């Protein structure tokens, strides 16, 4: 499906180099055994039901913990964790428990990386969900245009979740946008290539009335979340990102200034 999609792009007149089409086809063939193993599991209504149940239970645990023990989290981070857990269920809840609660005894690069990854994931995931569902269900686009719309919205929502808080802190739109492009583009790119590529591999051409459409969507989102984690940790380690603030020190303000992932260069 991925190779066929790129071939469709070439036929449409886009300047995609032939070597990229060949590379994508080789990758698809190499991943075929994994696809043949995972796809039947994801195509089951039982899998969709179990996934939905686990996600709902995980959301309930998150909201209970935030309400009872972590009300000091900024409103932005409450939204971030809600979206992360909505997409990835127990995986997202485990990341929140490890790195996002005010009860942290200590902080570290690895925990900052998870918080930065989650911040990126919440916006990109929202764009991807809206893009895939609207382009498929409402607009009935072809696979090519579903992919284009999804990539575009994922980037826009990912950037918006960084630009908005930076502007609340007093930066101009131009400065905030430049900062977002510099700090977020690497992780968004890795996340979306992994997520959308996986979704195309597993469910390219699936109808929204089939369980595979939904299970592959959230499975691929989670894989993108995992793939982007080392990128976010590396960006923090080399100083491109400041990293997300320690939740134990967050004051509960609506903008959550300590939750910003802006670059150190923009703060100078």
User: Domain extents for the chain?
Assistant: 54-263
Q: 264, 242 in Cβ contact below 8 A?
A: yes
- pLDDT (tens digit per residue) in 161-176: 888 888 877 888 999 8
- With a cut of 50, which residues of the chain have pLDDT below it? 3, 6-7, 9-13, 253-268
Q: What is the DSSP string of 112-178?
A: HHHHHHHHHHHHHHHHHHHHHHIIIIIS---HHHHHHHHHHHHHHHHHHHHHHHHHHTT--HHHHHH
Of 46, 37, 1, the residue nearest 203 (C-alpha): 1
**This prediction's pTM:** 0.85
pLDDT attached to residue 52: 97
Please give the biggest Cα pair distance in the chain: 56
């Amino acid at each position: 499906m991925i190779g066929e999609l790129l071939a469709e792009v070439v036929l449409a007149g886009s300047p995609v180099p032939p070597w990229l089409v060949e590379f994508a086809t080789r990758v698809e063939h190499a991943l075929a055994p994994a696809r043949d193993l995972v796809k039947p599991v994801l195509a089951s209504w039982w899998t969709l039901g179990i996934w939905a149940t686990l996600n709902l239970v995980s959301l309930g645990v998150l909201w209970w913990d935030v309400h009872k023990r972590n009300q000091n989290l900024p409103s932005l981070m409450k939204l971030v964790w809600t979206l992360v857990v909505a997409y990835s269920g127990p995986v997202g809840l485990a990341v929140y428990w490890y790195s996002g609660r005010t009860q942290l005894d200590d902080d570290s690069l690895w925990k900052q990386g998870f918080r930065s990854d989650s911040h990126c994931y919440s916006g990109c995931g929202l764009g991807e969900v809206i893009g895939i569902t609207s382009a498929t269900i409402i607009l009935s686009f072809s696979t090519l245009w579903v992919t284009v719309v999804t990539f575009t919205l994922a980037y826009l929502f990912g950037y918006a979740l960084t630009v908005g808080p930076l502007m609340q802190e007093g930066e101009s739109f131009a400065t905030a946008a430049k900062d977002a492009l510099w700090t977020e583009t690497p992780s968004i790119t890795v996340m979306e290539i992994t997520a959308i590529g996986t979704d195309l591999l597993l469910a390219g051409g699936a109808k929204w009335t089939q369980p595979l459409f939904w299970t592959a969507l959230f499975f691929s989102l989670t894989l993108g979340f995992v793939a982007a984690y080392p990128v976010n940790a590396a960006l923090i380690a080399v100083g491109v990102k400041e990293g997300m603030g320690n939740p134990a020190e967050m004051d509960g303000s609506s903008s959550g200034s300590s939750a910003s992932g802006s670059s150190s260069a923009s703060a100078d």
